[in-house]
Structure 1
Amino acid sequence: MAPNSARTPADSLPLETETFREAMSRIATAVHVVTTDGTGGCFGATISAFASVTDEPASVLVCVNRSSRAHDAIIANKAFCVNTLDAGHETISDAFAGRGKLEMHERFARGNWTKLATGCPGLDNARLSVDCEVFSVTEVGTHSVIIGSVVDLRMREPGKSLIYIRRGYEKVEK
């Protein structure tokens, strides 16, 4: 559509919560578990909103729902680790998303974890683990956008990555 052309009613949908959620479900995204540990406790949550901010200094952002138990712990601990899941990690993703109503220690029992530089758990066989100290927090609606300064980074060789789209898992090899 040309920038100045008229839009027809069929071009847009009412901007309602469910419509927006459906629209966002159509964007393929990697699946991550954000973890934290420290005085605020050891917690984790499945997230999809993770991105690099800048490489100088190395920093990333995550969006975490403020109603998540992991949210307040990340803020209190001033640290988090983003673990990008591999194909075959569906049960870990589901556990940290709250499916099955597992206690937090039971969720962590789904994998092998090593404390990284900040003390946050890094999943031993994650595609990528990015360990961060909290730099800033901005509240937007139901979530907090948390920017972290990277202090430790671990990567495995390429293989199949776990992707989430249309409310289901897919695997991509690249």
Structure 2
Amino acid sequence: MTALTAETTAPGPVPEGAGSVQPAEFREAMTRFATCVTVITAHTGTRPVGCTATAVFSLTDRPPTLVVSLAAGSGTLRAVRAAGGFAVNVLSWQQRALADRFARLPAERRFDQVPYDTVEGAPLLAGTVTGAVCRVADCVPLDDHVLVSGRVLHTRTREDLTPLVHFARRSSPLESCV
């Protein structure tokens, strides 16, 4: 693998139709990328909103910044943009039902009987392994998603909980992936 340095430049954009990987084949390969299951939350002003997400990563610690990928047409993305902030909630194994709730239920029912605190204007779910509240720094549209970078304003972590991990189309406790 060749690293890009100041002396080298990245190649230009990949031509349309280049490559031979079909979407189904790509999706199957991506199921082998083990990842924590998160719920991205924001406040619309009248109610909290959120969705399950696995495309979340830390960008840098100077300043502390996270990136989340949200569908371009999602209500959660609209709320994040309007509020100017969001929370990333890393679910525990004990919260596995929340992953499905925030992925499948109608938006107006996702928070029914789900405990949370509002921290720095964003809903931070109770009982998570960790949570980070962020202020939106930038939004970058890419294909049918938008990458949202957020400067971390607040974190909360529990050492006594096991994270919920998604691997090979299954949700599991971290220990079972090792």
TM-score by length of 2: 0.83
Q: Pick from 109, 112, 123 the counterpart of residue 109 of structure 1.
A: 112
- Paired residues of 2:49 and 2:110 also in contact (CA < 8 A): no
**How far apart are the structure 1 equivalents of 2:47 and 2:79?**
6
1:71 Cα deviation from its structure 2 partner? 1.1
Instruction: For 2:21, give the aligned amino acid.
Output: L
What stretches of structure 2 of length at least 5 have no aligned partner?
3-18
Q: Pick from 129, 133, 136 the counterpart of residue 134 of structure 1.
A: 136
Instruction: Please give the per-residue CA displacement for 1:101-142, whole angstroms capped at 9, x wherever unaligned.
Output: x3334211252100011x111011110110001000101111
Q: Pick from 35, 42, 48 the counterpart of residue 41 of structure 2.
A: 35
Instruction: For 1:35, give the aligned amino acid.
Output: T
- Paired residues of 1:91 and 1:110 also in contact (CA < 8 A): no
Q: Give the number of equivalent residue pairs.
A: 160
2:26 corresponds to: 20
- Determine helix, strand or coil for the equivalent of 2:21: coil
- Aligned-residue CA RMSD in angstroms? 2.1
Equivalence map 1:137-156=2 (5 Å): 137-156=139-158
1:14 Cα deviation from its structure 2 partner? 3.1
- Determine helix, strand or coil for the equivalent of 1:88: helix
What stretches of structure 1 of length at least 5 have no aligned partner?
4-12
Equivalence map 1:43-122=2 (5 Å): 43-98=49-104, 102-117=105-120, 119-122=121-124
Q: Which runs of 4 or more aligned residues in structure 1 lie more than 3 Å from their structure 2 counterparts after TM superposition?
A: 38-41
